[in-house]
Structure 1
Amino acid sequence: MPSHRPDQAVRLALELAELGWHILPLSPTSKRPLANCPDCRDTTTHAIERCVCIPAGRLCHGVRAATIDPNRITRWWNEHPDAIPGIAAGPSHLVLIDLDTHADQPPADPAAELLPGIDLAAKNIPAEQLADIRSGRDVLLLLAKLRGGPRPWPTGPEHQAVVVTTPSGGRHLWYRAPPGIDLRQAIGELGWQIDIKAGWSYGIAPSALTRRGPYTVLAGDPARPGRMPAWLEHEVRRAASRRALPKGLPKPLPTQVRPSGQAGPSAYLTTVIERGAAELTRLHDGRQRALSALAYKAGGLLAWSGLPRSDVETRLIDIGTASGLPDRLARRVVTRAIANGVARPLPEPGRKA
């Protein structure tokens, strides 16, 4: 398949950066952020907030390196001429609604699983209508019908998303991020085959050309992405809100202290996770395996620690994303490994099994 000539890719990256879209180069084969620099791989402790490589313009910590600096972007593409321009959602004040059209089998229970958190059986939607849903676009249209009223898509330019068709036949909807709240990436939490890319997550730039084909802009103006209609913003906030956008690695988990002043089980598990996070930032290869091992151990100690499973999962997913792993991969690795660890509890530290 064709791909961008270097001058086309860097020109697109510079044009979008001038509009405030924060750019990072992606691998032309995997579409993942290019790897950490050698300095980071060789440093014994290298938390993002103390990273000297990002201010120096190096491709370190994946999406965290994204920039609008034209000199930095030009240098990156001189060094990596085949890179695909990627967009960091949160720093660009954007939200990407990614509508997939994969060939996965529909959910076994469409009424309960097409729109998590919404009981479609109670909405009296005919089963044959649910059976016809085959893509994320179908699911979003169903959500619009339920939540958006008779005219869910406002026609004014202030609500016009930058609409992009993907090589697989999916759709990317780029909206302005809603003010007053920080969002995280949410994979499948809004709906089946719908991913929300926000915060420290990324998408392929509109108009980019990859080896699989182009990301063609169908509607909207990248200089003025519209805001979501009220019903969609409400649902996105429900699925993807969080208290704070992390700076560097996410804040540590809350811990419990015993009356004697000694750290309790929650502090022990938190220390395990923090040490694992520091190790992950040093790795170039094997980050997926390291994240899986860390999540498995956390799952094995979870019941003993007393920490909420959702807090531990969110922490580990953010750690994986911060290390440069793709959001979808980090979430899949963590959820599976924690589940395996929970099913096989570890002996309490200091005691024999």
Structure 2
Amino acid sequence: MTTESPLAEWALFLAGMGWPVFPLRPGTKRQPAIKNWEQRATTDPDRIRRAWAADAWNIAVATGPARLVVVDLDMPKAGESGPDGAAALAALAEQRGAPVPETFTVTTPSGGRHLYFQAPPGVRLRNSQGQLCPRVDTRAGGGYVVGPGSVTEQGGYELADERDPVELPAWLVQVCTEKATPTATSRPVALRASNPSAYGAAALRGECDRVRAAEAGRHNETLASAAYTIGRKVGAGLIDHATARAELIAVGQTLIGPEHWPPTDAEVARVVDAGLTAGSRNPVRRKEAA
């Protein structure tokens, strides 16, 4: 009977979550031990056992193949001023009127945190550095995070919350999308019938405005109708699915209240997804859009 090393056990645990892993040089966080690490990251237990039997590799999780978006909350470095990443993200959440949900969390040797979120269906995000707010980075497609159990000279990466990762909140998807395309969101869209993307953007804004103005008792009906209407345009290629979903979920969440429908974020997402799916199956014709 063989006994796994602690690092091998952690690598197997993360792979068991469905997250491809690969080795980092012992004691480091920025030196992959293999080339083409995103393609070669694995969840295969036999490969992991063989790799981690060779040395005390640190562990990296390939966030893109794992369909994860990890929000990296940093601490100020010596001599720096301003809030830490956790405080900056909390302030952004308050500004957006939505919470930062509890999720799978790893603490870092510097005192920061890695918040693991599932990437929503159809959403493809890339890494960002300080774009959301100061000392807040994201790791998604093309990136990796150091997994729990790994150790550097500064200390270890420790699992602080082992609940399953929740889906990246719609308001964070929206912020990530906005920050990734600042030139596209910094000026008004020209509304011309010959410009399908402009038409789609205008239609999405109009439906979001309709949801915000929904009458009491008609919240479910209005959100479902808006999602179906936009879904038809998604099906026609006039609106990006990820953008439409994020915007509709974000505006749907403004309807949540003690005396209102819907009661939860999950119900908002369910109604939006159902409407988009149904609408996409009945796309508008391009000449209708014009």
Equivalent in the alignment of 1:184 = 126
Q: Normalising to structure 2: TM-score of the pair? A: 0.56
**Matches for 1:125-140 after TM superposition, within 5 Å:** 133-140=82-89
2:71 maps to which of 75, 89, 97: 97
Residues 1:226 and 2:175 aligned together: no
Q: Deviations over 1:277-300 (max 9, x none)?
A: xxxxxxxxxxxxxxxxxxxxxxxx
Q: Give the SS at the match of 2:14.
A: helix
How many residues end up aligned between the 2 structures?
179
Q: Give the SS at the match of 1:138.
A: helix
Residues 1:173 and 2:147 aligned together: no
Equivalent in the alignment of 1:12 = 10
Letter in 2 for 1:203: V
| Counterparts in 2 of 1:178 and 1:237: CA distance versus 1, 3 Å | farther
Q: Is the 8 A contact 1:89 1:203 kept in 2?
A: yes
Q: Distance in 2 between matches of 1:75 and 1:102?
A: 38
Runs (5+) with no aligned partner, structure 1: 36-58, 107-130, 154-158, 242-353
Q: Deviations over 1:33-59 (max 9, x none)?
A: 434xxxxxxxxxxxxxxxxxxxxxxx3
Measure how far apart 1:73 and its partner are. Answer: 1.2
**Matches for 1:249-288 after TM superposition, within 5 Å:** none
Equivalent in the alignment of 2:278 = none
Q: Is the 8 A contact 1:17 1:67 kept in 2?
A: yes
Q: Distance in 2 between matches of 1:239 and 1:34?
A: 28
| Counterparts in 2 of 1:13 and 1:186: CA distance versus 1, 3 Å | same
Considering only aligned residues, what root-mean-square deviation do their CA atoms show, in Å?
2.3
Q: Distance in 2 between matches of 1:97 and 1:139?
A: 12
Q: Distance in 2 between matches of 1:72 and 1:33?
A: 20
Equivalent in the alignment of 1:141 = 90
Measure how far apart 1:207 and its partner are. Answer: 4.1
Equivalent in the alignment of 1:333 = none
Q: Deviations over 1:5-30 (max 9, x none)?
A: 97000111011112201101011233
Q: Distance in 1 between matches of 2:124 and 2:168?
A: 15
Q: Distance in 2 between matches of 1:135 and 1:236?
A: 19
Letter in 2 for 1:134: P
Q: Distance in 2 between matches of 1:238 and 1:71?
A: 42
Residues 1:63 and 2:5 aligned together: no
Q: Distance in 2 between matches of 1:240 and 1:27?
A: 31
Query: Which one scores higher on RCO, CA 8 angstroms, separation ≥ 6?
Result: 1
| Counterparts in 2 of 1:214 and 1:6: CA distance versus 1, 3 Å | farther
Measure how far apart 1:226 and its partner are. Answer: 0.8
Equivalent in the alignment of 2:19 = 21
Q: Is the 8 A contact 2:15 2:44 kept in 1?
A: yes
Measure how far apart 1:208 and its partner are. Answer: 3.3
Letter in 1 for 2:65: P
| Counterparts in 2 of 1:6 and 1:27: CA distance versus 1, 3 Å | farther
**Matches for 1:47-86 after TM superposition, within 5 Å:** 59-79=34-54, 81-86=55-60
The ranges of structure 1 where at least 4 consecutive aligned residues each deviate by more than 4 angstroms after the TM superposition are none
Q: Is the 8 A contact 2:15 2:42 kept in 1?
A: yes
Equivalent in the alignment of 1:251 = none
Q: Distance in 2 between matches of 1:6 and 1:195?
A: 33
Q: Deviations over 1:120-163 (max 9, x none)?
A: xxxxxxxxxxx8x33111211110110134xx24xxxxx53112
Percent identical pairs in the alignment equals: 37
| Counterparts in 2 of 1:144 and 1:215: CA distance versus 1, 3 Å | same
Letter in 2 for 1:199: G
Q: Deviations over 1:227-257 (max 9, x none)?
A: 123222221233358xxxxxxxxxxxxxxxx
Measure how far apart 1:190 and its partner are. Answer: 1.1
Equivalent in the alignment of 1:208 = 150
Equivalent in the alignment of 1:238 = 178
Letter in 1 for 2:46: N
Q: Give the SS at the match of 2:32.
A: coil
